[in-house]
Amino acid sequence: MKNRKYPHRFIYVGRYYDFKGITDLWDAFIAWQKEANTDWELWCLGNGDISPIQHPNIKHFGFVQPKDLESFIAQAGVFVMPSRFEPWGVVLHEFAAAGFPLICSDKVGAVEAFLSDNKNGYIYPAGNISALKNALGKMAMLSDEKLREMGKISKQLAAKITPALWAETVMNVV
């Protein structure tokens, strides 16, 4: 599907808790939509103690079993991780490995390993809704070709850490 028309969908996969920055994402997306008037949607997969916001271009799917994620991933275009605090963030590695352009806050530990700012996505200061809004807008303005290119770079960065490499690192420490 991404080889034809690139999907105009941002995707968030995570819990609906304040420290995950989910309300920052909703606020930034809604503010950007008011200005941009585009066909982009925001798909949110997860649940938590924050109730889903209602907006015509934000779709909530609740908790999705890992075996069912593939269909959502195939229909989405850009992964967003707006966490205000995230010691690592395995999901960033997973979406980089899946070939997604990325938007991520600077408070995600894995951002240094899997996101090269302006190459495969955008890093913004956590909690800065205006900067997140701008990152969403910059991403949405890119051509399908550029989005695919960013996805390829994400895959290359994700390949730096594999189970075999990690096991070798652990064995060298031991």
Q: Which of 70, 65, 120 is nearest to 92 (CA)?
A: 120
Find residue 117's DSSP bridge partners.
Answer: 121
30-61: per-residue pLDDT in tens?
999 999 989 999 999 999 999 999 999 999 99
Pinpoint the alpha helices (H) of the chain: 22-36, 69-75, 90-97, 111-114, 129-140, 144-158, 163-173
pLDDT above 90 as % of the chain: 89
pTM: 0.93
64-112: per-residue pLDDT in tens?
999 999 999 999 999 999 999 999 999 999 999 999 999 999 999 999 9
Ordered DSSP codes for 65-99: -GGGHHHHHHH--EEEE--S-BS--HHHHHHHHTT
Domains of the chain: 9-173 (3.40.50.2000)
- Helix 144-158 × helix 90-97 angle, to 10°: 120
